């Protein structure tokens, strides 16, 4: 195997695949990236056995072939090469080393045989549809903050992606929750997605996917089977196992008849919550919202830090009400609202509150109150 590649192109592709590789691996081969030189250029492949990214970069291939080398080391080296450099990669099976040459630098890296590299079985994908990069980005960005990190509730450790029916309109929905807040975002169901299986995309796949989307302009092809999801970009493909679990029946925890409505300027409210929460206890982060006709008062207190109060104008016509929230969760949600105003639909201080962007009904956020 022998090829020459521009440092910029190699760095970009390595950057995409290397973050899949775990820092600590019991299997040495999983620390490596599979490098395959072929007619298309250089293909890079990294996996943690649950998630795989394959990316092809343009390269001048002199001799075809394949090998594997430590992903983080390789990335580190390429990162430190000067901008605009040309990189030569070569591998001779007999010396078992990948040689990297650039300018006056020469590196010899311990290689492991390409044949040992675990391939994720491709299997058959029953459903395939296309999404604009912007659409997928919006589904992810407005839900991922609510993904649970509690490993014991593994079925909440991802985004639940499925086809649904909203008042007769077929939609593609992304839902994430950690039990304290929930985000449900939808878009018109893309062609070909009807009848797709409902799947839970793991958090790590979501994070890597999000990085790839940033550089994608074209449509993204999504392929689904019962156990896998694949996102195909121009030159990169991300394949992930799905979380094998049942996502809870989220619809029943989204209240539909909360009658106390509050409208507030989203930016002002965000800033005020941010300020007042500086006082709230590090462990509970509780903040109290007191509502009266036309106004909203935020307050927080902690035995160590003291207390804080801030009042802002708000559209509220209901009876006086006090309700507590985790300030961080409230901020997370307010951050998702792009429009000027957020609408809160509240039942009482113990039941879930619904938050929406007044100007955009495609996203619904649910927030569980706290005892304050």
Partner 1 sequence: MEPSTRRWFPGSNRAASGFTLAAMPSLCRDCLHHDATPFPDACPRCGGRRLVAHDELETLSIAHVDCDSFYASVEKRDRPELADKPLIVGHAGGRGVATTACYIARRYGARSAMPMYKCLELCPHAVVLPPDMPKYRRVAEEIRAIFAAVTDCVEPVSVDEAYLDMAPEHRRGDAGAAVLLADVALRVEQEIGLTVSVGLGPNKFLAKLASDMNKPRGFTVIGQAEARSVLAPLPVERIHGVGRALAGRLTAQGWTTIGHLQALGEMELTLRHGKLGRRLYHYARGLDERRVTPVRPAKSVSKETTFRRDLHRLADLEAELAGLTDSLAGALARKEVAGLTVVLKLKTSGFRTLTRNRRLPEATRRAEVILAAARLLLARELADSPGDSYRLIGVGLADLCPAEQADPPDLFAPGGEGRP
Positions that interact with partner 1 (CB under 8 A): 148-152, 177-180, 182, 248-249, 252-253, 281, 283-284, 286, 326, 350-352, 366, 368-371
**In the complex, what is the shortest distance from the CB of residue 177 to partner 1, in angstroms, rounded to a whole number?**
6
**CB of 251 or CB of 311, closer to partner 1:** 251
**In the complex, what is the shortest distance from the CB of residue 146 to partner 1, in angstroms, rounded to a whole number?**
11
Integer Cα distance of 14 and 42 in angstroms: 11
**CB of 217 or CB of 249, closer to partner 1:** 249
With tokens 């559209």, the residue in question is 315
**CB of 150 or CB of 313, closer to partner 1:** 150
**CB of 7 or CB of 203, closer to partner 1:** 203
**CB of 27 or CB of 110, closer to partner 1:** 27
**In the complex, what is the shortest distance from the CB of residue 108 to partner 1, in angstroms, rounded to a whole number?**
32
**In the complex, what is the shortest distance from the CB of residue 314 to partner 1, in angstroms, rounded to a whole number?**
24
Integer Cα distance of 98 and 301 in angstroms: 60
What distances in angstroms separate CA 6 from CA 58, 78, 86, 285, one per listed residue?
8, 10, 5, 49
In the structure encoding, which two tokens stand for residue 305, read together?
A: 């830090």
Integer Cα distance of 328 and 325 in angstroms: 8
Query: Please, are residues 240 and 51 in contact by the beta-carbon 8 Å criterion?
Result: yes
**In the complex, what is the shortest distance from the CB of residue 229 to partner 1, in angstroms, rounded to a whole number?**
24
**In the complex, what is the shortest distance from the CB of residue 263 to partner 1, in angstroms, rounded to a whole number?**
24
Q: Report how far Cα 114 is from the mean position of its chain's Cα atoms.
A: 30
**CB of 57 or CB of 182, closer to partner 1:** 182
**In the complex, what is the shortest distance from the CB of residue 68 to partner 1, in angstroms, rounded to a whole number?**
24
Query: Please, are residues 287 and 280 in contact by the beta-carbon 8 Å criterion?
Result: yes
Query: Please, are residues 315 and 327 in contact by the beta-carbon 8 Å criterion?
Result: no
- Alpha-helical (H) ranges within the chain are 7-18, 71-80, 133-141, 203-214, 266-276, 327-336
Alpha-carbon Rg for the chain in angstroms: 25
**CB of 16 or CB of 285, closer to partner 1:** 285
Number of alpha carbons in the 13 Å side-chain half-sphere of residue 50: 13
């Amino acid at each position: 195997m022998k090829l020459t590649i521009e440092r910029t192109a190699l760095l970009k592709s390595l950057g995409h695949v290397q973050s899949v590789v775990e820092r600590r691996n019991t299997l040495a081969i999983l620390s490596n990236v599979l490098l395959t030189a072929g007619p298309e250029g250089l293909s890079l492949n990294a996996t943690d056995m649950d998630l795989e990214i394959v990316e092809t970069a343009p390269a001048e291939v002199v001799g075809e072939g394949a090998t594997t080398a430590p992903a983080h080391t390789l990335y580190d080296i390429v990162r430190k090469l000067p901008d605009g450099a040309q990189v030569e990669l070569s591998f001779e099976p007999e010396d078992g080393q990948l040689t990297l040459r650039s300018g006056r630098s020469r590196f010899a890296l311990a290689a492991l045989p390409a044949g040992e590299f675990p391939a994720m079985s491709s299997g058959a994908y029953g459903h395939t549809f296309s999404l604009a990069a912007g659409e997928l980005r919006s589904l992810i960005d407005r839900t991922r903050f609510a993904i649970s990190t509690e490993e014991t509730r593994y079925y909440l450790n991802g985004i639940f992606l499925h086809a649904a029916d909203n008042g007769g309109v077929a939609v593609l929905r992304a839902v994430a929750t950690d039990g304290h807040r929930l985000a449900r975002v939808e878009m018109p169901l893309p062609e070909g997605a009807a009848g797709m299986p409902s799947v839970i995309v793991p958090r790590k796949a979501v994070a890597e996917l999000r990085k790839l989307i940033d550089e994608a302009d074209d449509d993204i092809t999504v392929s689904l089977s019962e156990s896998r999801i694949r996102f195909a970009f121009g030159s990169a493909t991300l394949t992930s196992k799905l979380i094998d679990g049942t996502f809870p029946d989220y619809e029943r925890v989204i209240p539909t008849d909360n009658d106390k409505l509050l409208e507030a300027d989203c930016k002002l409210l965000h800033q005020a919550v941010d300020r007042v929460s500086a006082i709230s206890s590090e462990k509970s982060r509780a903040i109290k919202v007191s509502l009266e006709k036309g106004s909203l008062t935020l307050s927080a207190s902690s035995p160590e830090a003291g207390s804080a109060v801030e009042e802002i104008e708000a559209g509220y016509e209901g009876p006086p009400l006090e309700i507590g929230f985790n300030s961080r969760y409230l901020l997370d949600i307010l951050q998702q609202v792009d429009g000027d105003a957020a609408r809160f639909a509240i039942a009482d201080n113990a039941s879930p509150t619904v938050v929406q962007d007044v100007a955009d009904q495609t996203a619904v956020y649910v927030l569980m109150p706290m005892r304050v």
